[in-house]
Amino acid sequence: MESLGGSLKKKAAELHYRAEVMIAGEQLRLRLHDGKLIKDRRYHLRTYPNCFVAKELTDWLIDHKEAPDRETGIRLMQKLMDHYIIHHVCDEHSDYKDAKLLYRFRKDDGTFPLNKDVKVFVRGQSLYEKLVGAEGSILKVREENSVKYQRTFLGCEMVDWLVQEGEAESRKEAVELGQALLEHGIIQHVSNRHHFFDGDLLYQFWINFRRRRRLTELLNENSSRTLSESPDSPFCLRKLNPDPGNTSFLSVQPNKEIKIVSAVRRSSITSLAGNSNPYFSVTPTLVFPPVAECNPKSVLKRPVTNEELLSPGAPYVKKTLTIVGDAVGWGFVVRGGRPCHIQAVDPGGPAAAAGMKVCQFVFSVNGMYVLHLDYQTISSLIMTGPRTLVMEVMEAVE
């Protein structure tokens, strides 16, 4: 079986980073539209649609605790310029200036370059979403050499699926598509040793398209994988190597422990290089493939059954929470099964604002009774449902 060469690994890592930049940029664009920072603006008797003022954006980043200082904010936006995500409205400036200048996301004016690499990325994202939403998906947690991996599939399974779903006309075409996805850093062999083949080798999606990105990840370009991800949760919390703080919340890392991290605004943009960083140490610990992941330790002090929750006089109260998701999710993690519980809550996110707390049990999702379901099924129900989420939870009476 052919091994994966060093030059191909390097190219895949570079294209993987490019994909992460595009995802992070798109998530920021949606947030800025949501906050009305992007709008039509008039300058010198001319109207420029869907643009923002650079100085105002830098202010916004700092005011929302998304960047610790103006220098970091400028560096972050320059990354987006370097990768053709944003540009000056008249293309008179090739760099990002912290001034009263108008810039625009290329997706908002149709100038985003749709080259071959971008088309492969878009195709990979489409396939990922289709697989994640499919009943009986081939994407599963699998173990190889005593290590568990998320979002994995066998090469032959992917080829079968691509042909069956009409994504490829033949097995040969399906293999070529799989190889293109691997070469562009979208999928990888779990130990990063082999190219894509129609066989029983184990692969995984290297990119989790649903994960919330921190723009500070873009400052770590030399890393082929900027962050590890908590197991298949679309609203995971991404805090690693915390510094102590006055306020804290629970965040799960892949070492089967619960870590206390300082509470900061959700989707914060902070400097990876500065000492003021509340999310990461100067050198993140989880920065290279393959990434071994495992289920974190439960926050529950003891197991609780459905019978205990529903028994007459049980010390639990039912609460109804209405959570309006923002551009990057709802801000909580569900774990367990029959019943599922809230494993972690982002203190600055929509869920926390609605009254969600750790250790609550999930009773219903959008009117559907879910005490008998596992967390993967509940996560899928939430992701495929409306942006406004209505959940009933059971909370212990203190």
Q: What's the pLDDT score for residue 327?
A: 61
- Among residues 184, 167, 79, 182, the alpha carbon closest in space to that of 121 is found at 184
In the block, which residue shows the tokens 């019978």?
A: 307
Q: What's the pLDDT score for residue 221?
A: 65
Q: What's the pLDDT score for residue 353?
A: 87
Sign of CA dihedral 281, 283, 284, 285: negative
Inter-residue contact 157 to 164 (CB < 8 Å): no
As separate numbers, helices (DSSP H) first and strands (DSSP E) second, the chain gives: 9, 16
Q: What's the pLDDT score for residue 349?
A: 79
Inter-residue contact 323 to 391 (CB < 8 Å): yes
Which domains does the chain show, CATH number per domain? 7-105 (1.10.10.10), 116-210 (1.10.10.10), 306-396 (2.30.42.10)
Q: What's the pLDDT score for residue 96?
A: 95
CA triple 254-226-255, angle to 5 deg = 10
- Among residues 278, 296, 286, the alpha carbon closest in space to that of 242 is found at 278
Strands (E), the chain: 39-43, 46-53, 86-88, 102-105, 140-144, 147-154, 187-189, 202-205, 248-252, 258-262, 316-324, 332-336, 340-345, 361-365, 368-369, 388-396
Average model confidence (pLDDT) across the chain: 78
Supply φ then ψ for residue 176, to 5 degrees.
Answer: -60, -40
Report field, pTM of the whole predicted structure over 0.85: no
Q: What's the pLDDT score for residue 330?
A: 84
Low-confidence ranges of the chain (pLDDT < 50): 1, 223-295
- Among residues 266, 146, 195, the alpha carbon closest in space to that of 8 is found at 195
96: which 2 tokens? 């990002």
pLDDT, tens digit, 9 for 90 and up, residues 23-60? 888 888 988 988 899 999 988 888 999 999 999 999 98
Strands (E), 111-155: 140-144, 147-154
Q: What's the pLDDT score for residue 133?
A: 82
